[in-house]
A and B are shown apart, each in its own frame.
Chain A
Amino acid sequence: MDLTNSDRELTADVEELSGENIFSCYQCGKCSAGCPFTEEMDLLPNQVIRKVQMGDRTVLDSNTPWTCASCLSCEVDCPKGNDVPAIMEAIREISLRKNLDRVDLNELDAKGLPEIALVSNLRKKTG
């Protein structure tokens, strides 16, 4: 692993936004084992956490935080009781707070979508 571009600020930002100690994770992989959407992800949840620990900014380009459905299975399975969903949310928020929305309302066809779907999607994927 190349640590020459390690960005401590990323680690600090994620910790601050999530309120979690990112180094509490000892990479047991239970979160990834229980996550129902790993087939759709380019990085496993535990790999995402690893990248944050290492200050690897490429984690912001991963589709994993955006595929995450906030189902909280990872939180329930984590042996350290880490709030893994909060870590995923922190990574999303880093982009959203810079006005980099994941979902573009200008392109969205909302017809037929129930209120609950729109409210929750826009809550997680727009800033």
Chain B
Amino acid sequence: MLQYNILIVEDSPTMRQLISFALKRLRGIRIVEANDGVDGLKKLSAERFDLILTDINMPIMDGLKLVSLVRNDANYKDTPIVVITTEGAQEDRERALALGANDYITKPIQPNRILDVAKGLLKIT
């Protein structure tokens, strides 16, 4: 069975658990969690991921910096990135998408929305 590797970069353990819980409804996925942008980069260098979900406001390295670095990495230039954040302003969304994010989800978290976006980007029917 095809397996998708998904990386969740989020400093809140509650949010990581909520996102994982939503994604676990998809078959054939493996979830790896990272606490912040730097931790996320470490995980990205260790193995291949099919989808990255990241928060914006995190200590050490924020999500937008992570998106920018990932998009400039030849190995990950085509990997879908979803930003999940409390920042609901249109300019924040545009900024994240301009940096290379594929989708932008605002909190409060809706498990179905996360699931639909992940399905779409992983092309799971």
Same complex: no
Chain B interface (Cβ within 8 Å of chain A)?
none
